[in-house]
Structure 1
Amino acid sequence: MDLEQDILNLITCSGEATSLSIEAIEYARSNEFEKAEECFEEADEKLIMAHKIQTSLLHREAGGENFSISILLVHAQDHLMNAITINTLAKEFIKVYKELRSLKEKGD
């Protein structure tokens, strides 16, 4: 597959995972935890796709294919790392929202 296409797919999958993770936080803020979980399932699928692309690139390079380090490739890696971080933090936010909801229900 074309290197540039792989890089663009990596950016796309990572960006979608980020957006879905943020959407999950918004649902949780509104106590719509099932919808938040649906967003996480889709975000996780996008992250898996991104990891597969990244792994393919790593295998190609390890197999002797030479890649020039381009701004686009660095940008793609940055998107992936941010998507992973945001997804991890979003899952923690959801836990906090659930705890707050539980405390509120106990106090009512």
Structure 2
Amino acid sequence: MTEEVIFNIILHAGNARAEAYDALRAAQAGEFIKAAGHLQQAEEEIGAAHRVQAEMIQQEAQGNKAELTLLTVHAQDHLMTAMSEKNLIESMIGMHKTIRQLSDKLEASLCQD
């Protein structure tokens, strides 16, 4: 297993985190379609990282034991953190949608009075 393979996990996980935070910023601005696009990109990046990880696991299952290095642990940590943050951000975006809807209803009812 080369460092390049490990860095691919880190790269894709980092891209996923960036897309997830872009999604959150879009949702905060009320741009929910744009947020959904960023979440889709985040999911694709996580998928790419998972494919690299799966290849590493398959190699090990075939008897090609990988040396456990700090870089490998860092890559795994980076991926798991990106996945957790994306999941949390998805929930936060749902809350932003609810807040926006309630705010719009409140504003509409106040305008009628």
Root-mean-square deviation (Å): 0.8
1:47 has 2:46 as partner: yes
CA distance in 2, matches of 1:16, 1:73: 18
Q: In the alignment, what sits opposite 2:82? A: 83
CA distance in 2, matches of 1:101, 1:80: 31
The number of aligned residues is 107
Q: Output the TM-score relative to the length of structure 1.
A: 0.96
Q: In the alignment, what sits opposite 1:64? A: 63
Q: Percent identity?
A: 34
Q: In the alignment, what sits opposite 1:24? A: 23
Q: In the alignment, what sits opposite 1:99? A: 98
Amino acid at match of 2:59: R
Runs of 4+ displaced beyond 2 Å:
none
**Deviation of residue 5 (structure 1)?**
1.1
CA distance in 2, matches of 1:55, 1:66: 14
Q: Which has the larger radius of gyration?
A: 2
Gapped regions of structure 2 (runs ≥ 5): 108-113
CA distance in 2, matches of 1:62, 1:17: 27
CA distance in 1, matches of 2:64, 2:17: 30
Q: Deviations over 1:21-53 (max 9, x none)?
A: 011101100001111111011111101000101
Q: In the alignment, what sits opposite 1:73? A: 72
Amino acid at match of 1:71: L
